[in-house]
Amino acid sequence: MSSRSTVTTWSLEQTSPGDLLPAAAPEGDDVRIVRAEVPSPEFSRFLYASVGGDILWVDRLSWSYAQWEEQLRRPGVETWVVYDRGTPAGYVELEPQDGGAVEIVYFGLIPAFRGQRIGGHLLSYGTARAWDLAERWPTLPPTKRVWLHTCSRDGEHAMANYRRRGFRLFDTKVTEEADVTAPGPWPGALTRTS
């Protein structure tokens, strides 16, 4: 019989572009954020597994190539990648939804890049791109709401970062979920230490 753990999931939102409280950008030219405009299941799976491997992101690990491609080709789905000195350090994935809502579906940093003040900048930038998504996708309605969820399995600083960027809590759910082994991008990869 598998073991289970209590997991708390918090949903947060912004309802106006003025809600965004941007973090300062890192000094210098070493950190850049670039949109991955060419849908690439290989690259997106790399980001997903590398960022989420130690915090139990497992939902998409079983996806086929075709499922990744279908998601990435949906109108308005965008992946914004942060690079530190040319190396991918993390990403934010945006997904438009009905009624002018945009979900920040995934956001995070590869473990080696956490704690370097990159996350607040990436979240600020990604949230701003959620607010102006319709400017790049004219078939979409203007964004009226940006939302996301985080849970007790996420990084220890996730909730504080969301709050500092102006996100407000609108829902909390507590569930029992099966325990899974942190898959990492591969066995022996760097994992969070605390």
Other Cβ atoms closer than 10 A to 140: 15
The whole-model pTM stands at 0.92
Q: Residue 82: beta bridge partners? A: 33, 90
Structure tokens at 182: 């942190």
* Banded pLDDT at 186 (limits 50, 70, 90): low
Exposed / middle / buried, residue 60 (Cβ in 10 Å: 0-12, 13-18, 19+): middle
Of 108-112, 117-121, 124-128, 188-192, least confident by mean pLDDT is: 188-192
pLDDT at residue 188, as a whole number: 58
Alpha carbons within 13 angstroms on the beta-carbon side of residue 169 total: 12
Residue ranges per domain, the chain? Answer: 4-178
According to DSSP, residue 113 is labeled: G
Residue 191: pLDDT over 60: no
Phi-psi region of 175 (alpha: psi -120 to 50; beta: other; left: phi over 0): beta
Q: What is the pLDDT of residues 62-98, one digit of tens each?
A: 999 999 999 999 999 999 999 999 999 999 999 999 9
pLDDT at 192: 46
Residue 187: what pLDDT?
A: 62
Condensed to tens digits (0 to 9), the pLDDT of residues 46-62 reads 999 999 988 888 889 99
Tokens of 163: 């709050």
CATH code for the part of the protein at 4-178: 3.40.630.30
